[in-house]
């Protein structure tokens, strides 16, 4: 169903849920959905633990004050969980029966591509209007310039890398820092530029060890420390594996590895993520009132836009080659 297609009348009761990995700003989006629904005279319920909550009937009506004091909190008050049951036709039918019991006639799904695949299938099978809101630190969705959580995760990682640089400079150290991103190098590349890294390894491009060694050899002639950022999904392996492959070539440096891990998912969302989440929540509810369905809300060139789920999940957006070029210039 296209994002402009009518679904046969305005919804009366919206269900909102979060799915997949948590991302800072999800709570701000939940808050915006709940308060916008009430502003327009709609009932709204929170579905706990994503699709599994639909299958298990873990639902609660939400009032305006139920979402007070959450805009600044990381994580998601609605929690998230995997659901094998929802992957079956029988599980989705049970989920629909539970939503009918509550009178929920439209959904807002906050998550990433896996969330939208499930939501799209559910909408097609059961005729349930669904709007998606981007919520993933990986920033790997088509239809939005940035996803909720990406700015916070990048700033968190950058702060950690800045601290690592302090100690690296004091001890002639070569640091390999691993950041999140199994299929997306967005966090790695943005942090690489912002934190002044010498090299970044991302899964979107094949960057061999030989290329890395050339950069390190050049840096060794004039730099007291070097930072290499490795996205966890890089084809050469994680930071430990990359460090193992190059360690013997650079006896001058004291080589260390730091894996930032899930610290990137937590923490208070930045202003940018709170604003994006708030705008997305309002736009999603009003999109349902306009008769839209089967699409994700995103920010494109500073304006809110709807992109059909089919396009959103077609594959990750291409990486900005210009950022890689800039990194190469500034890392000399």
Catalytic residues: 138
Phi, psi (deg, nearest 5) at residue 180: -70, 155
Instruction: Give the tokens for residue 237.
Output: 């392996």
Pairing of strands 226-231, 59-61: unpaired
The total of other beta-carbon atoms located within 10 Å of residue 272's CB is: 16
Strands across the sheet containing 254-259:
199-201, 226-231, 173-179, 254-259
Helical axes 26-39 vs 271-289, angle rounded to 10°: 40
Give the Cα-Cα-Cα angle 34, 16, 286 (nearest 5 degrees). Answer: 60
Instruction: Measure the CA dihedral 36/40/41/42, to 10°.
Output: -60
Residue among 80, 87, 76, 133 at smallest CA distance from 110? 133
- Pair 118, 88: CB distance under 8 Å: no
Phi, psi (deg, nearest 5) at residue 24: -60, 130
**Long-range Cβ pairs for the range 302-308 (8 Å, 24+):** 304/279, 304/280, 305/143, 305/144, 306/3, 306/4, 306/131, 306/143, 307/3, 307/142, 307/143, 307/144, 308/2, 308/3
- Pair 92, 64: CB distance under 8 Å: no
- CA distances 299 to 118, 183, 277, 306, Å, are 22, 21, 10, 9
Q: Is 102 exposed, middle or buried (0-12, 13-18, 19+ CB in 10 A)?
A: middle
């Amino acid at each position: 169903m296209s994002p402009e297609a009518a679904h046969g009348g305005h919804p009366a009761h919206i269900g909102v849920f979060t799915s997949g990995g948590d991302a800072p700003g999800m709570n701000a989006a939940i808050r915006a959905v709940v308060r916008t629904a009430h502003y327009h005279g709609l009932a709204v319920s929170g579905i706990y633990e994503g699709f599994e909550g639909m299958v298990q009937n873990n639902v609660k009506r939400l009032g305006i004050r139920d979402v007070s004091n959450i805009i600044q909190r990381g994580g998601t008050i609605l929690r998230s969980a995997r659901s094998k049951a929802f992957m079956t036709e029988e599980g989705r039918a049970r989920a629909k029966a539970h939503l009918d019991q509550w009178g929920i006639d439209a959904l807002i799904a906050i998550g990433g591509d896996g969330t939208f695949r499930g939501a799209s299938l559910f909408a097609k099978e059961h005729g349930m209007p669904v709007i998606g809101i981007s919520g993933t630190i990986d920033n790997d969705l088509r239809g939005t310039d940035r996803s909720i959580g990406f700015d916070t995760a990048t700033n968190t990682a950058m702060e950690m890398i800045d601290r690592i640089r302090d100690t690296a400079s004091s001890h002639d150290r070569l640091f390999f820092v691993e950041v999140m991103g199994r299929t997306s190098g967005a966090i790695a590349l943005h942090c690489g530029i912002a934190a002044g890294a010498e090299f970044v390894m991302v899964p979107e491009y094949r960057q061999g060890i030989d290329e890395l060694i050339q950069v390190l050899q050049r840096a060794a002639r004039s730099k007291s420390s070097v930072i290499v950022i490795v996205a966890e999904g890089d084809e050469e392996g994680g930071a430990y594996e990359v460090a193992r492959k190059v360690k013997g070539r650079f006896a001058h440096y004291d080589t260390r590895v730091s894996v930032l891990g899930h610290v990137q998912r937590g923490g208070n969302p930045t202003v940018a993520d709170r604003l994006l989440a708030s705008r997305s929540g309002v736009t999603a509810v009003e999109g349902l009132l306009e008769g839209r369905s089967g699409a994700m809300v995103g920010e494109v060139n500073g304006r809110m836009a709807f992109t059909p789920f089919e396009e959103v999940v077609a594959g990750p957006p291409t990486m900005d080659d210009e950022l890689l070029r800039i990194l190469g210039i500034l890392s000399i």
